[in-house]
Amino acid sequence: MLLTDNPIPDADGDRFGFRAHAEVLCSAITTTEDLPLTIGVFGPWGMGKSSFMKVCQDLLGNKGIPTVWFNPWKYDQRDEIWHALIQSVLTEIAQELERRRLSGDLALRERMAGALETVRRLSQAAAWLLARRAAGPLTAGVVTADDMAAAQAALTEPGTETYQHVNHFERDFKDVVAAYTDGGRLVLFVDDLDRCTPDAAITVLDSLKLFLGEASCVFVLAMDYQVVAEAAARRFNSEAPDEARGRQYLEKLIHFPYHLPGVSFEAIVRHLQDKITESGLSGSRELWELIEVAFESNPRRVRRFVNGLNLTAMTLRLNPDDPPSRRLLLHAGTLLALRMKHPGFFAALQSDPDVWRRYDDAEFDKTDLSGQDAALAQENPGVRRLLAAVAHRRAGFAFPDPPTPTEIRLLTQVLTVTGGPPNGGAVPSAAFTAEGTVGEGPGHDA
């Protein structure tokens, strides 16, 4: 069983307790009087920002409040992004206005037809502006200015009217939104800003400020605050980014910062426990202790770990005459966590398998590491804490003693197949088949 990173589609799919918090935020969205309003949903990568906003979108839809979803990560170029954002909103509005026009009485049809004509002109103005902005980079001086002007004229028929709509975009868009929402509000969700390139992320924010700044809209932006603040800082000075100025930029643009509530680890266990295909591990206190120490309460990272563990277990079972022991599976889980969280230590294990045992002994004896072991711990912050959590002499748990060099070699080969080599290194030749490993025994210690 493989788990995806797709956000939940609606409130009914909520497994992490987002709904109660989403209802509070949606209540604020629906009752705020001074619009436009910009809300920043802040949270680290993998903590469920997209799912939280999907819950919000569903709840608002149930209240009859129109929404538009935009993902700028799909677009590479800055000009593409702001144009796609504007056209996405206009397309959504046009479809609904057309539906009303076709189903309404004469007065409504005339009113909707007028609004649709404004939408058409706004769309044309945006397309024309995109053509003008892209002309220089795309032609690279090969086409003359007169030729480019003629091409643009043929494409979008710009004229005095189009110039006017570029200059009055905010006012006209405000009127269109008013017609679309019957005097209410439009909520625009912008997802994955922190996945964009720095220039692209700031382009989206600038577009909201420059083109949509007077309409009765609520903009809900999902982002990792630190990532986007750093992008804003580089925008002002790429050579020596001013972090304070980057934060000030966001503070001016974001009217209300909403920090996503953390997901409880218990909720993650309830949601994913039955997704672990090895029945002997799904309820293992040791496995879930490993997961919590390694990945805390980050749903995305835990899902990726579960995917890797399931594939690893399936690969280890290719030889039906020699199924993997619980010991080997727990070691596979620990090595997978090391590969994901501490690839430098994972790589060191391949050349010095005994380093794990030395860390284990140091934890039991409460002594300091020395020499290369101490340097390795310094280069991989957190690795000693993780290995201490799975120490076989830890009270209250039944972790196995550190793996043998043979077990480490076997599991490293399997994990390379099921999860890729650490740090993008070369993939070693496959050494595990349905008949067992090539050149060495399976190393299934009891």
pLDDT tens by residue, 218-244: 999 998 888 888 888 887 777 777 888
Cβ neighbours of residue 84 under 8 Å, at least 6 residues apart? 70, 72, 74, 75
pLDDT of residue 418: 78
pLDDT of residue 77: 64
pLDDT tens by residue, 331-375: 999 999 999 999 999 999 989 999 999 999 999 999 999 999 999
Query: Does the pLDDT value for residue 133 go beyond 70?
Result: no
Neighbours of 254 (CB within 10 A): 21
Of 242 and 312, more confident: 312
Cα angle for residues 219, 224, 225 (degrees, 5° grid): 80
Least confident span in 306-310, 399-403, 419-423: 419-423
Instruction: Give the chain's radius of gyration (CA, Å).
Output: 28
pLDDT of residue 78: 59
CA distance 388 to 277: 26
* Closest residue by Cα to residue 97 from 30, 35, 177: 177
Both tokens assigned to 48: 């469920």
Which residue type sits at 293? V
CA distance 137 to 135: 6
CB burial of residue 321 (10 Å; 0-12, 13-18, 19+) = exposed
User: What is the percent of the chain with per-residue pLDDT over 70, rounded to a whole number?
Assistant: 83
pLDDT tens by residue, 388-400: 999 999 999 999 9
Query: Does the pLDDT value for residue 425 go beyond 80?
Result: no
Asked if 252 and 221 touch (Cβ cutoff 8 Å), the reply is: no
Of 266 and 280, more confident: 266
Average pLDDT value for residue range 434-442: 39
Beta bridge partners of 196: none
Task: Give the residue carrying structure tokens 């999902």.
Answer: 222
pLDDT of residue 72: 85
Burial 69-80 (b: 16+ CB within 10 A, else e): bbbbbebeebbb
- Confidence grade of residue 148 (pLDDT, cut at 50, 70, 90): very low
- Confidence grade of residue 417 (pLDDT, cut at 50, 70, 90): confident
Query: Does the pLDDT value for residue 429 go beyond 70?
Result: no
Asked if 219 and 98 touch (Cβ cutoff 8 Å), the reply is: no
- Confidence grade of residue 288 (pLDDT, cut at 50, 70, 90): very high
User: What is the percent of the chain with per-residue pLDDT over 90, rounded to a whole number?
Assistant: 44
pLDDT of residue 210: 66
pLDDT tens by residue, 27-43: 999 999 888 899 999 99
pLDDT of residue 60: 96
CA distance 119 to 98: 11
Query: Does the pLDDT value for residue 264 go beyond 50?
Result: yes
Which residue type sits at 261? P
CA distance 25 to 9: 18
pLDDT tens by residue, 150-202: 434 443 454 555 556 566 778 888 888 998 898 999 999 999 887 887 778 88
Residue 159, SS3 per DSSP = coil
Query: Does the pLDDT value for residue 98 go beyond 70?
Result: yes
From residue 250, give the alpha-carbon distance in Å to each of 48, 53, 224. 21, 20, 12
> How is the beta sheet containing 37-42 ordered, strand by strand?
67-70, 186-190, 217-223, 37-42, 256-259
pLDDT of residue 434: 41
Both tokens assigned to 170: 């905010």
pLDDT of residue 130: 66
Task: Give the residue carrying structure tokens 């879930």.
Answer: 288
